[in-house]
Structure 1
Amino acid sequence: MTAAERVWERMQDLVLHRHDRRRLVADALGLSFFKAKALRRLVPGPLTLGELAELLDTDRPYTTVVVDDLEQRGLVSRTVHPDDRRRKLVTVTPAGAEMAAAANRILSEPPPFFAALDADELAQLDHLLAKLDADG
């Protein structure tokens, strides 16, 4: 195994398995993580089902199922698009915005192991991640 493969494996284990925030979000909100993700995408403003499907990287029929469930829970509403009556706009409700904010709080909270790193180590990690992001 190369050093790059070993580091990638450790990063995946850390983020996807040992500190999986997706599960915490789903448990806290009583929604699948995907539905919470849909709410988070709707906070900036209304989207058509097609636009939401594209942002979620899924197909329109599945997006419709997700929106149906969110609408039944009172987390989103659908209205006729002002420029095209054949399309619907999906808007997050105040209750949905609260759920999205709760998901964002959970997702943005660093895992406890970050407390074990000192300021220099955090700065080094930040620098390395910024470098990786710039290269991607």
Structure 2
Amino acid sequence: MSHSTPDTENPPGRPTAAERLRNLGTRLLSLAAIRSDRLVNEKLARAGARKWHYAALATLEEFGPASQAELSRRTGIHRSDMVAVINELAERGLVARTPNPADRRQNVVSATPQGTEHLRELDAVLAEVEDEVLSPLTAPEREQLARLLAALVERPDRTM
């Protein structure tokens, strides 16, 4: 039986969560990811985009034209979802699909000039989100956090 009164305000200076929760790295990482993901989705939606749009356009810019299968591998977007992403981007004139000269059964996807311009706009949106999410950190702390997160994500034994 609980000795606290539900729905009462927390007195100033008193922690809002149990210490074991406040110090649990996986919980903190999850909470930060949830907040970041929400902000990214909201801001990209206002710019007429989704995270997968950004991933596809950024990958095309960095690596050049690619088959849908290659784009799926490079972005981690499932092949069936990639078809929908490419369709959405193509309908808006942000990517073009052309037959692969080496294999006519396959399309090659490339960013259009409009897609490249849209990517620049999305870069600015995401830079704002990053500044907002990481505002409590100094520049060196942001760099350190990026290195630490990359180490977690890029582990050879990762199962994501």
Q: Same fold (TM over 0.5)?
A: yes
Larger Rg: 2
Letter paired with 2:47: L
Aligned to 1:108: 127
TM-score (norm 2): 0.64
Letter paired with 1:105: A
Aligned to 1:67: 86
1:41-72 per-residue CA deviation (whole Å, 9 max, x = no partner) reads: 21121010110111232333332222112111
Aligned to 1:26: 44
CA RMSD in angstroms, aligned pairs only = 3.1
Higher-helix-fraction structure: 1
Aligned to 2:77: 58
SS in 2 for 1:65: helix
Measured in 2, the distance between the counterparts of 1:128 and 1:62 equals 30
- Which aligned pairs between 1:1-136 and structure 2 lie closer than 5 A? 6-17=24-35, 20-44=38-62, 45-109=64-128, 110-112=130-132, 114-117=134-137, 122-124=139-141, 126-127=143-144, 130=147, 133=150, 136=155
Measured in 1, the distance between the counterparts of 2:109 and 2:59 equals 11
Measured in 1, the distance between the counterparts of 2:74 and 2:135 equals 34
Measured in 1, the distance between the counterparts of 2:117 and 2:98 equals 20
Measured in 2, the distance between the counterparts of 1:111 and 1:48 equals 34
**Fraction of identical pairs, as percent:** 24
* Number of residue equivalences: 133
| Deviation, structure 1 residue 93 | 0.7
| Deviation, structure 1 residue 9 | 2.1
TM-score (norm 1): 0.73
Measured in 2, the distance between the counterparts of 1:57 and 1:116 equals 30
Gapped runs of 5+ residues in structure 1?
Answer: none
